[in-house]
Amino acid sequence: MASFLWLYTDSGSPLSTQGTVDSRWTATSLQAAHAQQSNPWRARNLRKWSKAYINDCEALPLSENGKSRTSCIDDDVVAAEIALHLQGLGKYVRSLDILHYLEQAGVKQRLKIKKTPHLSTAKRWMKKMGYHWTKNPAGQYVDGHEREDVVWYRQTKFLPACQALEDRTRKWLTDNTKMPDNHPPQRRIIIWFHDESTFYANDRRVVPWVFKGETAIPRTKGEGASLMVADFVSADYGWLRSPDGRTQGRVLFRCGKARDGYFTNLDIQNHTKNVMNILDEHYRDEDHTLIFDNATTHLKHADNALSARKMPKGVPKNGVNWGVEVNQIDADGKPVFSVDGKVCKSKVPMLDGRFDDGTAQPLYFPPNDPRGPEGIFKGMAVILEER
């Protein structure tokens, strides 16, 4: 189109002095089409496109080459069947698996596909179906956030509790400056967030920029020894520690059977007690709220809390009593292990139950009870009869 307009406006062109304006317009378009080894149909299009461009300089024709309006994968039936096939192959699927599937007898005929697509086309199909080539996700596990019970707890318990604390907390901007506070003077609340991170001896970056010609460097196999760090942090004071820095809330834990063992509920309790002592000694002028996530080690009942799990129906046999198994702990607060490497257990009595009027219901026979020896578990049948 640019060549056509150039020839038409060029005063040195042989056609510039021949015939009328209309005849020169047609003759120039034919010459431009002939130069492109095309036919009069292209000349008509050149005239049409040029007139549209002269009237509106934004009205440029767009090339449709390589821009098919539809694709086989746009057919819901084709996309659903290919997706079902890929799901049946397991975790590690490839775009090449689409080509192998379409090569199976009768598949292309059933899906009305004329020929097997190219591998690059199969890759585009994978993207259209929602796949992308990347490492396995290793971020936050979000499944379950929209479960009905989770939403109910978040909306009716967690968020109202946070809202109740907000008026007594300091507000901070992104540049670490405190926002103006229009509330009357009151005792402040400091919110401390607990978190844990585990670091490994062989941690390293795995995706750097590598200069061409660089050779592979031997690296240690495996993750190596681990070190877990647990700490509390707040927007007001940063990491939890005393003003002089001598005592702190950080815990370094070397996980492993032959090292410090494994981080359990008891370690969380001891960590929290230490933090509460620091806050009570150095930050008495403020109230403090500790926030934990819902990790398994952060959720625990008392060792002897009421539970019907494994509770026997009848009274135990002579010489045997039923109780709650708990881990044996040494003087340093660490679990005691037997020679076979297992944690040693001991039995403790379960807590008393409660009747509807609030009075205690002992789960073990009191002295001089004709139904059983003193201190022996009553059994579920007797407990239910008493209720």
**Is the predicted pLDDT of residue 209 greater than 80, yes or no?**
no
Model pLDDT, residue 25: 84
**Is the predicted pLDDT of residue 278 greater than 90, yes or no?**
yes
**Is the predicted pLDDT of residue 68 greater than 60, yes or no?**
no
Model pLDDT, residue 63: 65
Taking residues 202-213, report their average pLDDT: 75
Q: What distance in Å separates the CA atoms of residue 24 and residue 281, rounded to the nearest whole number? A: 99
> Using 50, 70 and 90 to split pLDDT, how confident is the model at 65?
low
What is the per-residue pLDDT across 167-178, written as a single tens digit (0 to 9) for each?
Answer: 888 888 888 788
> Using 50, 70 and 90 to split pLDDT, how confident is the model at 234?
very high
**Cβ atoms < 10 Å from Cβ of 239:** 13
Taking residues 29-38, report their average pLDDT: 83
> Using 50, 70 and 90 to split pLDDT, how confident is the model at 341?
confident
Model pLDDT, residue 331: 80
Q: What distance in Å separates the CA atoms of residue 251 and residue 210, rounded to the nearest whole number? A: 37
What is the per-residue pLDDT across 102-147, written as a single tens digit (0 to 9) for each?
Answer: 999 888 888 888 889 999 999 999 888 888 877 766 666 566 778 8
Has this prediction a pTM greater than 0.85? no
Taking residues 74-85, report their average pLDDT: 89
Model pLDDT, residue 102: 92
Taking residues 152-169, report their average pLDDT: 91
In the numeric block, the tokens 């007797």 are attached to 382
**Is the predicted pLDDT of residue 307 greater than 60, yes or no?**
yes
Model pLDDT, residue 142: 60
Model pLDDT, residue 291: 92
The pLDDT mean for the chain works out to: 84
- CA–CA distances in Å: residue 369 to residues 34, 355, 360, 366: 116, 19, 17, 6
